[in-house]
Amino acid sequence: MKIIADNKIPFLEGALESVARVEYIPGAEISRSNLLDADALITRTRTKCNRELLEGTSIRFIATATIGYDHIDTDYCREKGIGWTNAPGCNSSSVEQYLVSTLLWLANHRSIDLKALSLGVIGVGNVGRKVASAARALGMRVLLNDPPRERAEGNAEFVSLEELKEHSDIITLHVPLNKGGLDNTEHLVNREFLTHLRSGSILINSSRGGVVDEAALLEGIRSGKLSDVILDVYENEPAINRELHEALAIATSHIAGYSLDGKANGTSMSVQAISRFFSLGLDDWSPATMPVPENPELLADASEGDLFDLLWEVYAQTYDVSSDDQRLRKAPEHFEQLRGDYPFRREPAAYAVRLFQGYPEIREILEGLGFDVLSDQCM
């Protein structure tokens, strides 16, 4: 059995070698000739799995170690009997970490009180649910919009897009890129969308670049309709609109879901799916070990100072979103390299916070953000 795999998928090397011959190739360089005699493909979003790549090959199964699967031509796969899988929810906690870091960065650098603001979450799947929970832990009012879920569940907690736009101070997008149909999300954020926002709103997109019309977005920033925009994804990535880039408060290189924990989950789900499809006996496989943070115990002195300053001081030690912004601003032409060589990042669950002079509310917030809290002299 032969497997072709993207060479930037962490923890994968050594996982399947006992049952298959595995060849590792950069994702953007995987070609039809590589797949002619291969049985399976393990990939990420940079490999376009379409007719051009797959026609005439012996590929029987494709596993993408990502949540999104718009790089896979699922209609073609169905036509040819090629099985495929994505990794739903694999990096949901990682994107949550990205959003929390962004919210706390805004609180710290824009001097805003998150407890006085409303967060609108568009798309309440694996990621959106976790983002909403974290925002509530921070004391924010949360508005949820998810038409497919609302139709299926009739859940009273959902609001219309119009209500969300009218009542949200910050809007964050967590939707797939659907081109057409009842739940079209292509250019969901367009001129008409922006017209109905509160003046000075903040927009965050870590879902898919095509969900936002970037020309309209730039107009919204210049007009003052949007006070801050944070983007992790772009319409034409890896090429970025430089004019838009300069206007963004935070710009990162499609790495919101790139925590080591999220990557390990995606790899595990891919290996397990291939194992089930080909009966390889690795249905429960996961990485044997995970690197431990250099400083797994963080100190937090809550005896004085602002709550959100304290939270930023603690959270930034696990992940400071502005560091990724700085890396991209220095070398936007190296977008792909920044993704491929992304630095070590563990999620809050890998850390413990030793809290000094902390009120129960602070402990509850830290636990709500995923930390294990060790209290010394808690009031």
Nearest to 61 by CA among 46, 82, 88: 82
Nearest to 10 by CA among 256, 266, 253: 266
**CA pair distance 42, 372, nearest whole angstrom:** 34
Assigned token pair, 91: 């990096």
Peptide bond into 238 cis (omega under 30): yes
Beta strands, E only, the chain: 2-6, 21-25, 40-43, 61-64, 83-85, 118-122, 141-145, 170-173, 201-205, 226-231, 250-251, 297-301, 352-356, 372-376
Residues forming a β-bridge with 49: 72
Match 């977005």 to its residue by tokens.
Answer: 217
**CA pair distance 186, 232, nearest whole angstrom:** 16
Catalytic residues: 208, 237, 254
Residues forming a β-bridge with 100: none
Instruction: Report CA 302 to chain centroid distance, whole Å.
Output: 30
Nearest to 41 by CA among 373, 270, 324, 328: 270
